[in-house]
Amino acid sequence: MAKTPVKPQKSHKSRRRPSAPSIELDINRLNDEGIGIGYFETKEVLITGALPGERVSFTIEHEGQRRIVGQLRRVLRKSNDRGISTCAQAGECQGCSLIAMNYPAQLRFKEDKVRRYLGNYPSLSGAMVHPIWAAEHKLGYRTNAKLVMAKERGKVKIGLYRRGSHEVVDIGNCPLHHPLINRIAAVVKEEVERQGIYIYNPKTQRGLLRYLTVKIAPGSDKAMVTFVTAERNFRELTHLGKWLKKKIPEIISVQQNVNTSEGNVIFGRDTLKVVGVPDLIDKVGDIRLRIAPTSFFQVNNEQATRIYSQVRQWAALQPEETAVDLYCGIGGIALNLARDAGRVIGIEVIEEAVRNARENARMNELGNCTFVAGDAAELVHDLAMDVAPGSIVVVNPPRSGCDEEVLTELAALAPRAMIYVSCNPETLARDLDLLQRLGYHTEEVQPVDMFPQTPHVESVARLTPIPETNSKGCK
């Protein structure tokens, strides 16, 4: 599933034209990232915020041998799909490439992307693609954020890296974030400046504060704040944490994660409680979930609830059946399945997430769950002796999808159905095609708009055995 992009993207070798005049251009289409594409002097031009059918003026930011990255200046001819701007920072941040587009057009773009990738594989031609599920809330839906901290001319910035650069754009009052996230970011910035706490500088590798992460439980309106630091620090972080809790009572937990690496990985290995409780408790549907500071969880609570409900409905588990949930995270899907199944086995590589999943099972009084940490392919292979044919398999991998070895081992379990939850239509289609060759046919796919204003789309696919090849294709 898709996550908040805070890491800087590598840009191609290019040359800047800082004083270049504005150039007019017609926009032909959007790429998969929702960026407008046109052509100038035989080169492809990428302009965030420009829509197909529009004529725009732009200036050149970077120019490579085959591609130009442009900065939108004016829309000279508007598309009928252009909506009303909801973000003053859109031109600088560029993190929400579809925010200029009205919502019905966003949904068409995302559904078409799912259909297009599935259409690349003849084996998937029989799969039914349902109309995309729209989000009830198009703004203010993000309940967790990973934000980079920087300092420029004595002023603290908290935000995201600008696309293709190491420049930090201060998010200010981000319209996609839960309002409590914006409040917390503003108070953190104010307190860090007031208390004179050093911000980490990646060039000099000196300073303390690197990232700010915030998780919100929307049902209770409580928050967990985690400071990612370059070294252990008790005095300043404790002082800062107490001030935050005093100014924003909704904060129930302040944590410190220590990341001593020089790269762009956000979290380090060690997390220390500074103030408050160790975890945040959220609720998705009827399931309560304990979420640790570095555990991944969905950013859109409402749409996650719908996805979990769909997985449970398609699984249609009986009391004597077993379900395997691969890449189970903190157990959101597994615990929903456990209400119907005789047994649920969750597999996850991140040990802290497995710890949370076990605690979540106890908290929800679901004693039929087993959660294990380790390599996916090895653990699935070991299940062959323990899980009878006819079980249910659910996979919810990262954007890169599943390794061929993992899918082969899953098919060898001979489940009566597979359910694949994906945040990347490209790798979803690739993996569904492989599963077809392994004896599992894709019956239907449900696209879900988990991330309004962005180009990302979630999908849930249901697969069943191909009768003619079930006994051979799974070996």
Domains in the chain, CATH or no CATH each = 1-82 (2.40.50.140), 107-136+300-473 (3.40.50.150), 144-284 (2.40.50.1070)
In order along its 475 residues, the chain shows pLDDT tens digits of 444 444 444 444 444 444 568 999 999 999 999 999 999 989 999 999 999 999 999 999 989 999 999 999 999 999 999 998 888 888 888 889 999 999 999 999 999 999 999 999 999 999 999 999 999 999 999 999 999 999 988 889 999 988 777 888 898 889 999 999 999 999 999 999 999 999 999 888 899 999 999 999 998 999 999 999 999 998 999 999 999 999 999 999 999 999 999 877 899 999 999 999 998 999 988 899 999 898 888 899 999 999 999 999 999 999 999 999 999 999 999 999 999 999 999 999 988 899 999 999 999 999 999 999 999 989 999 998 888 889 999 999 999 999 999 999 999 999 999 999 999 999 999 999 999 999 999 999 999 999 999 999 999 999 999 986 444 444 3
Cα 256 to its chain centre, rounded Å, is 22
Q: Say how many C-beta atoms besides its own lie within 10 A of residue 313's C-beta.
A: 11
DSSP strand pairing (128-129 vs 67-77): unpaired
At residue 128, φ and ψ (nearest 5 deg) are -85, 120
Q: Say how many C-beta atoms besides its own lie within 10 A of residue 95's C-beta.
A: 24
- Predicted TM-score of the model (pTM): 0.90
How many residues would you count in the chain? 475
Rounded Cα distance between 156 and 154, Å, is: 7
Rounded Cα distance between 186 and 449, Å, is: 28
**Distances 45 to 12, 37, 42, 90, 211 between C-alpha atoms, Å:** 14, 6, 9, 19, 32
Task: Give me the active site residues, please.
Answer: 423
3-state secondary structure of 231: coil
Amino acid at 245: K
Rounded Cα distance between 264 and 22, Å, is: 34
For 299-364, the DSSP string reads S-HHHHHHHHHHHHHHH---TT-EEEEET-TTSHHHHHHHTT-SEEEEEES-HHHHHHHHHHHHHT
CB 107 within 8 A of CB 422: no
